[in-house]
Amino acid sequence: MGLADSVLAVNNNLPIRTDKPVHSGKVRSVYWLTEADSARLIREKGYDVPADTPLAIMVISDRISAFDCIFHGEGGLQGIPGKGAALNAISNHWFGLFKDNGLADSHILDIPHPLVWIVQKARPVKVEAIIRQYLTGSMWRAYEQGERVFCGITLPEGLQKNQKLPELLLTPSTKGILKGIPGVPEQDDVNISRGILEANWQAFGFEKPEDIDLYEKLLKQGFAVISQALAKIDQIFVDTKFEFGYVTDKQGQSQLIYMDEVGTPDSSRIWDGAAYRQGNIVENSKEGFRQFLLQHFPDPDILLNKQRMPEREALARDNALPLATMMAVSDTYTGIAEKVIGGKLTLSDNPKAEIVEILKNEYQLVD
C-alpha cells in the first residue's frame, strides 16, 4: 500500500445501504440510512433518541479545501494523510468536554471508525456562528481599510494586527443562500447583526426568539471550554465557527445541539502560544495552508477575488502541490490532534476497506 492509498479522497462511493442520494460536501459525505436500518440501529445499539429518528452515516475524507476549491498534491495524492482522522478526533474530544461541562449535546450518536460518525438528523439553524478573540484574517483586512462596525459591534481605533480584542466578538454569517430576508443579500457568507437575527428568527431556522440568546450562550461557553483546554497545552484559540441545529428528544422536546465539527484546524484558527509571546504567528490550523497558497501562486488575487472563480478552479485543478507541502500540512493536523487528545492518533493504511468491513460486520449496513 502506498501513501496515496492511505488517503481517503473519494468518500461518496462506499457501498452503504441507502435509499436516498449521497450528500457530498467539501470534506464530508452523508449517507441517509433507510427507515428500517435507522430503527434497527436505535434498537440494537440503544441510542438515546426517539425510535423513529432518521440516522445517517457521515464519512470524513482527507480532502483539503481552501478558497472554496479542493487542492491536490504530486504523486496522485488527493488529500492530506491523517487529516480526516485528526479532525474527527479533535471534534470528538471537544464534544466529550462539552458533555462533561453540562453544555448541549451534539448530533453524534456513535463512532464506528476514526473517519466515521453515526449521526441523528437535525434541523439546522441557518447561521454560521463565528466567534473571535483576536483581530486577524478577513476582519483585520477590513479594519485596516477603515471598517469599524462588524455585525453591529463597533471596534475602537488604534488596534494592531493579531492583537487580542477587548472582548469576545460574535460575528455570525449566513449559512447558504437565504432569500427574502430584508437587509440580507442573497449570497453565502453574509455578515448578520443581532438585530437582523431577532427580526427574522424564523427565517434563520430558530424555533423561538429566545433561542438566539441560547445559541449565543452555547457559542460562548463552547468557546471558553476549548480555549481553556488549549491554553493548558500552550495553544491560543483565536477564532472559530460553530454550527447548531435542533433535534427532538425522547420526551418529544426540541433541543438545540452542536452539529458539524467544533474547534478543529479546519473550522478555527489556533496559534502556538510560545511563538505568539515572541511576536511570531505559528498557525496550527488550515490558515497556514491558505497562507502557503497565497505565496505559492504568482497572482494571489485569483484566490481572494470571488469574481475570478473560474480561474481559481482551474488553478486548483491543474496544479499539483509539492509533496513536501502536503506532508507539512499533514504534520500540522496530526500534531495538533495529538496535543489535544494527549496521545497517538490512530491512522489506517487503507481506510476505505476498514470502514466497509466494520459497517458490514458490526452494523449490517453493507449488502
What is residue 241's predicted lDDT score, i.e. its pLDDT?
Answer: 96
Residue 78 lies in a domain: yes
267 and 355 share one domain = no
DSSP 194: H
Query: What does the pLDDT look like over 292-316, one tens digit per residue?
Result: 999 999 999 999 998 999 999 999 9
Last residue of a domain, one of 259, 277, 295: 277
- Here the cell at position 218 is 452555547
Q: How far apart are CA 23 and CA 226, in angstroms?
A: 29
β 164-170/127-134 pair status: antiparallel
Residue 328 lies in a domain: no
Residue 298 lies in a domain: no
- The strand ranges marked E within 33-181 are 55-60, 64-66, 69-73, 108-113, 116-120, 123-124, 127-134, 149-150, 153-154, 164-170, 173-174
What is residue 138's predicted lDDT score, i.e. its pLDDT?
Answer: 84
Residue 265 lies in a domain: yes
Residue 236 lies in a domain: yes
What is residue 176's predicted lDDT score, i.e. its pLDDT?
Answer: 83
Last residue of a domain, one of 277, 296, 311: 277
What is residue 163's predicted lDDT score, i.e. its pLDDT?
Answer: 96
Q: How far apart are CA 86 and CA 265, in angstroms?
A: 9
Q: What is the CATH number of the domain that holds 350?
A: 3.30.200.20
| Residue 23 β-bridge partners | 30
- Here the cell at position 31 is 449517507
Residue 69 lies in a domain: yes
273 and 127 share one domain = yes
Q: 3-state DSSP call for residue 355?
A: helix
Q: How far apart are CA 107 and CA 355, in angstroms?
A: 20
- The strand ranges marked E within 171-298 are 173-174, 235-248, 254-259, 268-272
Q: Which of 192, 264, 188, 281 is nearest to 222 (CA)?
A: 264
Q: Letter for the amino acid at 213? A: D
Measured over all CA atoms, what is the biggest interatomic distance in the chain, rounded to whole angstroms?
A: 63
72 and 206 share one domain = no
Q: Which of 140, 220, 208, 136 is nearest to 172 (CA)?
A: 220
Q: How far apart are CA 230 and CA 216, in angstroms?
A: 21
Last residue of a domain, one of 230, 254, 277: 277
Residue 114 lies in a domain: yes
What is residue 137's predicted lDDT score, i.e. its pLDDT?
Answer: 87
What is residue 1's predicted lDDT score, i.e. its pLDDT?
Answer: 56
Q: Are 132 and 238 in contact (CB under 8 A)?
A: yes
Q: What is the CATH number of the domain that holds 153?
A: 3.30.470.20
Residues of the chain with pLDDT under 70: 1
- Here the cell at position 230 is 488549549
55 and 148 share one domain = no
DSSP 219: H
135 and 252 share one domain = yes
99 and 139 share one domain = no
Q: 3-state DSSP call for residue 8?
A: coil
108 and 201 share one domain = no
Total domains, the chain? 2
Q: How far apart are CA 314 and CA 196, in angstroms?
A: 37
- Here the cell at position 350 is 487503507
Give the range of the structural domain holding residue 353, as residue numbers without chain letter.
3-122+341-361
Q: Which of 152, 82, 73 is nearest to 115 (CA)?
A: 82
Angle between helices 287-296 and 323-341 (to 10 degrees): 170
- Here the cell at position 263 is 474547534
199 and 255 share one domain = yes
76 and 143 share one domain = no
220 and 255 share one domain = yes
258 and 152 share one domain = yes
Q: Which residue in the block uniquely carries the three cell numbers 440516522?
A: 55
Q: Are 250 and 50 in contact (CB under 8 A)?
A: yes
Q: Which of 109, 111, 134, 112 is nearest to 122 (CA)?
A: 109
Tally of residues, the chain: 367
Phi and psi for 357 in degrees, rounded to 5? Answer: -65, -45
Residue 317 lies in a domain: no
196 and 93 share one domain = no
